[in-house]
Amino acid sequence: MKGSVLARPNLKLFLLAAVLLLAVQDLVTRGHSQSTTVYARVRPGERVSEDVLRQWIAEASQSEAPDVCMRLSDEYYRRGELRRALFFLRRAEQLAEAQD
């Protein structure tokens, strides 16, 4: 019987297709990851001075702008003070809702 019904599969082709599918899937999932935006915003090496921080706190207490509170939240997050970062983040959300 010359024409075999059950032919040997080309394993190299299957392996190449599997590697290609994994590479495409990895690229797609990394592009839609939410963690990439968080790391892009936070730069651990850059910190503002204490004088600028005090100025931002005074500005946040006087104005109703949520962007000042967001800057404070980001800065406290960079410094590792998570309670203060959450406080200013919540305040920024409240101010943004009040403006809408």
Cβ 73 vs Cβ 92: under 8 Å: yes
Q: How many CB atoms lie within 10 A of CB 69?
A: 25
Domains and CATH numbers, the chain: 46-99 (1.25.40)
User: CA geometry: angle at 36 spanning 32 and 39, to 5°?
Assistant: 165
Q: Do you know the residue count of the chain?
A: 100
What would the pLDDT profile of 58-67 be if each residue is shown by its tens digit? 888 888 888 8
pTM of the predicted model as reported, rounded to 2 decimal places: 0.53
Say how far apart CA 54 and CA 61 lie, in whole Å: 11
Query: What is the per-residue pLDDT for 38?
Result: 40
Residues with Cβ < 8 Å from 42, sequence gap 6 or more?
A: 74, 77, 78
Mean pLDDT (the chain, rounded):
79
Residue 50 has what pLDDT? 85
> Which pLDDT value is given to residue 86?
93
